[in-house]
Amino acid sequence: MFLEIAHLVIKPGEESTFEQQVAKAKPYFMAAKGCTGISLHRSVEHPEQYQLNVKWATVDNHMVDFRNSDGFQQWRALVGPHFASPPTVEHTHEITL
């Protein structure tokens, strides 16, 4: 399992609308091949900043399958207008502790 970590910075005053749009977009992720979960985390220290975490079976399920899907276009149409800057994205795998 791989965790996509996206860092999102939202235009001032658009935070609550952005959160509603992510909720609307959630079904597109949950319907995507290899996606097993999505969560949204808002920074306490910088409340215009969010971390979106999406669980994928493989990195390609995100970068190839989802990025080329209609669901990705729907996601970007819903949230893209609220981005203050381009998102940064990385992938991680969990280390067993």
How does DSSP classify residue 61?
I
Q: Minimum distance between the CB of residue 10 and a second copy, rounded to whole angstroms?
A: 12
Residue 46, token pair as written in the block: 């910088």
Q: Minimum distance between the CB of residue 40 and a second copy, rounded to whole angstroms?
A: 4
Q: Minimum distance between the CB of residue 95 and a second copy, rounded to whole angstroms?
A: 4
Separation in Å, CA 63 to CA 19, 27, 45, 66: 23, 18, 30, 6
Residue 64, token pair as written in the block: 């190839």
| Residues lying near a second copy in the complex (CB under 8 A) | 2-3, 5, 19, 22-23, 26, 38-46, 50-51, 59, 90-97
Identify which of residues 36 and 39 has a Cβ nearer to a second copy in the complex: 39
Taking each helix axis from N to C end, the angle separating 70-79 and 15-30, rounded to the nearest 10 degrees, works out to 170
